[in-house]
Amino acid sequence: MLQDPLFFLAIVLRRKFIMAQFIQLAGDESGSSVSRREFVKAVGTAALAASVPVIGQQSARAAAGPSPSAPAETAVARFYKTLTQAQRKEICFPFDHPLRSEVKNNWAIVKPNIGQMNSEQQALCQEIFKNLCSEEGYERFTRQMEDDYGGFDSYHVAVFGEPGTDKPFEWVLSGRHDTLRADGNSVEGAAFGGPIFYGHAADGHFNEDPKHTNNVWWYQGQQANKIYSTLDDKQKAKALVVKADEDDARSIRLKGNKLGETGLAVSELDNQQKQMVQQLLKDLCMPFRAVDAEELQECLRDAGGADKLRLTYFKEGDIGNDGVWDMWRLDGPAFSWYFHGSPHVHTWLNVARKADKA
C-alpha cells in the first residue's frame, strides 16, 4: 500500500481539506473567530468527512470481499462437518453445479428445510445467516421471514463444493422472498457470491397499500422517489418509462457495453442529486455485512463508478396511482439492482466487476 501513488494522493487531498477547514474556522478577513470548543469539534467533523469513501469512486483499499475465515464462512465449514452422509446426498453438490447460480423469488433449492435438521445444525444455519447481515439488516430479514414463510426454520439451504478446505464453496439459502449466499469469495469478481434476491409482503398482505405500510424494504423505495422529486421535467422524461421489466432473474442479466440508453444517466445529475444517489446505494447495501458492501463498492468502481449507472422509474404498477413509483432500478455495465415494488416488494440484484464475471 505504501507504494501506491493513489494512497499518497488521498492523504494529500484529505490534509488539504482539513487545512481549509482550519483556515475557515480560525477566522475570516473581518477577523471573526470561534471558540476553542467549536474549533475542535468542527475540525473533528472535517477530518471524518474527508475520510468517508464515496461508493463507486476510486480508493486505495485492498481487494474487498469475504474471506474463508470470515464469521459466516467459518460457520459454513462447521455446518458442513456436521452433515451425515444421508444429508449430504440431499443438500450438497459439486461447486460447478448449475443450481448454485439460480436465483428466484420463491423456491426451495432442496427439499429439506432448516427445521428438519438437528438443533446444532439449525443453530449453525442461524449463525451463518446472522453473519451475512448488518445488525439492522438481520432484524429486517427476520421480520420479513416471519411474515412471508413462517420464520427462518422454514427456509432451505444447500452447500456447493467443500467448505473448510482450500477448494471453492458456497452456502445458499432459499425460500419465499430470499436467495442469500456465503462463499468466502469463491466466486471471484462477483459481489454477494452471485445474484441474490430479497423481498417482503408486509404483514402477509399480497397487495400492499400505496405507502407499503410495515414493509421492511420500502425505505429504499422512499429514497429512490426522493431523487425523482428533484428532477426537472427534461430529466423526468428520460427517467420515467411506461412498461416495467419482467419480475424475473432474467431482468438482472448484466449487459456490459450493451447497456443501452433507457433511463437517466447518473452522470447528468447535479452534485446534490448525485449525493442522493450515493445515499440510495448506501441504503441498498445497509442490510448486508460490511465486507459484502465493500466488495459491491469495489465492483462498481472497477466497472466505471456511479456515473456509469442509469436510474429508471416505471409507470406500470403504480399502487394507488399516486405518482410515487413503486418500481424502479439502477443499472450499469456490471450492475443491476431492480426494485419491483408492486403488488409487494421483490428486489433482484446482480453486481460484478465485469459483465462476464456474474
pLDDT in tens, 88-142: 999 999 999 999 999 999 999 999 999 999 999 999 999 999 999 999 999 999 9
- Do 168 and 309 share a domain, yes or no? no
Predicted pLDDT at 64:
81
- Do 225 and 344 share a domain, yes or no? yes
Instruction: Determine, yes or no, domain membership for 66.
Output: no
Q: Picking from 12-21, 65-74, 206-215, 242-251, which range would have the lowest pLDDT averaged per residue?
A: 12-21
Cell of 64: 474487498
- Do 231 and 324 share a domain, yes or no? yes
- Do 259 and 315 share a domain, yes or no? yes
Predicted pLDDT at 356:
78
Report H helices in the chain: 5-26, 36-51, 71-82, 85-91, 119-131, 135-149, 218-229, 233-239, 271-285, 290-302
- Do 320 and 275 share a domain, yes or no? yes
Chain-centroid distance of CA 170 in Å reads 18
pLDDT exceeds 80 at position 26: no
How far is 125 from 115, CA to CA, in rounded Å? 10
Instruction: Determine, yes or no, domain membership for 214.
Output: yes
End position of a domain, from candidates 135, 150, 184: 184
How far is 207 from 212, CA to CA, in rounded Å? 9
Are 104 and 179 spatial neighbours (Cβ–Cβ below 8 Å)? yes
- Do 102 and 42 share a domain, yes or no? no
Q: Is the N-terminal amide bond of 5 cis, ω within 30° of 0? A: no
- The label of the residue with cell 467533523 reads 45
Predicted pLDDT at 310:
98
Residues near 36 by beta carbon (within 8 Å), at least 6 away in sequence: none
Average pLDDT, the chain: 87
How many other CB atoms sit within 10 Å of the CB of residue 13? 11
Output the pTM of the full model.
0.83
- Angle, CA of 293, 296 and 300, to the nearest 5°: 145
Residues near 259 by beta carbon (within 8 Å), at least 6 away in sequence: 310, 331, 332, 333
- Do 218 and 293 share a domain, yes or no? yes
- Do 161 and 241 share a domain, yes or no? no
Question: What value does the mean pLDDT take over residues 227-242?
Answer: 98
Instruction: Determine, yes or no, domain membership for 104.
Output: yes
Instruction: Determine, yes or no, domain membership for 120.
Output: yes
- Do 179 and 214 share a domain, yes or no? no
Instruction: Determine, yes or no, domain membership for 195.
Output: no
pLDDT in tens, 45-99: 444 443 344 565 544 445 689 999 999 999 999 999 999 999 999 999 999 999 9
Question: What value does the mean pLDDT take over residues 223-237?
Answer: 98
How far is 162 from 96, CA to CA, in rounded Å? 11
pLDDT in tens, 166-219: 999 999 999 999 999 999 999 989 999 999 999 999 999 999 999 999 999 999
Predicted pLDDT at 56:
57
pLDDT exceeds 50 at position 248: yes
- Do 240 and 337 share a domain, yes or no? yes
- Angle, CA of 330, 331 and 336, to the nearest 5°: 90
Q: How many domains are there within the chain? A: 3
Q: Which of 105, 102, 124 is nearest to 114 (CA)?
A: 124
pLDDT exceeds 60 at position 15: no
Q: Which domain holds residue 30?
A: 5-51
Cell of 309: 449507472
Predicted pLDDT at 188:
86
Predicted pLDDT at 122:
98
Instruction: Determine, yes or no, domain membership for 191.
Output: no
Instruction: Determine, yes or no, domain membership for 218.
Output: yes
